[in-house]
Amino acid sequence: EAGVAQSPRYKIIEKRQSVAFWCNPISGHATLYWYQQILGQGPKLLIQFQNNGVVDDSQLPKDRFSAERLKGVDSTLKIQPAKLEDSAVYLCASEGSERGATYNEQFFGPGTRLTVL
Amino acid sequence: AQSVTQLGSHVSVSEGALVLLRCNYSSSVPPYLFWYVQYPNQGLQLLLKYTSAATLVKGINGFEAEFKKSETSFHLTKPSAHMSDAAEYFCAVSERGGGADGLTFGKGTHLIIQP
């Protein structure tokens, strides 16, 4: 079974530029998450999708960050314009929805490392 | 709101020695608790999880953790450290069982194994 795919793996941009990250979840997984992991910290949830609808985006800085999941499969996360403090690893995770399961595991992709200069 | 505190940003043990990584949580409802491991330039891998069944949970690679409600703790242990255990370890909590619910992570503990 293929895992969660993310691209690009690395990105370097200058502040005020725009950047987009892409995530392809595990086939059939209805739930998709984006996390931000700043160096030296644990991942922080940015947004959660259930199919193509947003479940939770309370921690997404909406003045500069946006995300979409068209057709309920792939997702893109965009930052426009980027700030120095956006330098981080952006992790995508997907989760199945097995009926009757006590817990459905989140599977994480390798992440995209963003450096803002 | 839920939160996780991991005591010790760095823990160093000798190869073959006991590994103990500490995690305390705060949650307004019975939590689900998790330990993840992260190797350099890789994503997070689930080590083990507590989902309100047995309080002593066994995971992969010889790790286990015990849920102690009275202490609001979920410490991770391994009887004998191996060089391959060197990595970053994250404790996480979920208040809605992980079913379509984002995780709240601690800041992580970097485990160093001395030869």
- My answer on whether omega of the bond before A81 falls inside 30° of 0, hence cis, is yes
| pLDDT at residue B102, as a whole number | 86
At residue A100, the pLDDT reads: 62
Q: Which residue out of B34, B44, B49 would a mutagenesis test of the A interface target, given it has the greatest number of A Cβ atoms within 10 Å?
A: B44
Give A65 or B31, the one with higher predicted confidence.
A65
For residues A110 and B42, the answer to whether their CB atoms sit within 8 Å is: yes
Render pLDDT for A25-34 as a digit per residue (tens, 0 to 9).
Answer: 999 898 999 9
**Between chains, do B102 and A109 touch, taking CB under 8 Å as contact?**
no
Q: Smallest Cβ distance to A109: which of B32, B43, B51?
A: B43
Residue A99's pLDDT is 63
Does the beta-carbon distance from A108 to B103 stay under 8 Å? no
SS3 assignment, position A84: helix
Q: What is the mean pLDDT of chain A?
A: 92
**In A, which residues are within 8 Å of B97 by CB distance?**
102-103
pLDDT per residue of chain B (115 residues) written in tens, 0 to 9:
789 999 999 999 999 999 999 999 998 777 889 999 999 878 899 999 998 778 899 999 999 999 999 999 999 999 999 999 999 999 999 876 544 478 999 999 999 999 9
Q: Cβ B99–A101 below 8 Å, yes or no? A: yes
- What pLDDT shows up at residue A71? 86
b/e B41-63 (16+ beta carbons within 10 angstroms → b): eebbebbbbbbeeeeebebeeeb
Contact B105 A43 (CB under 8 A): yes
3-state secondary structure of A69: coil
Can you give the pLDDT at residue A103? Answer: 65
A-B C-beta contacts closer than 8 Å:
68
pLDDT reading at A55 higher than 80:
yes
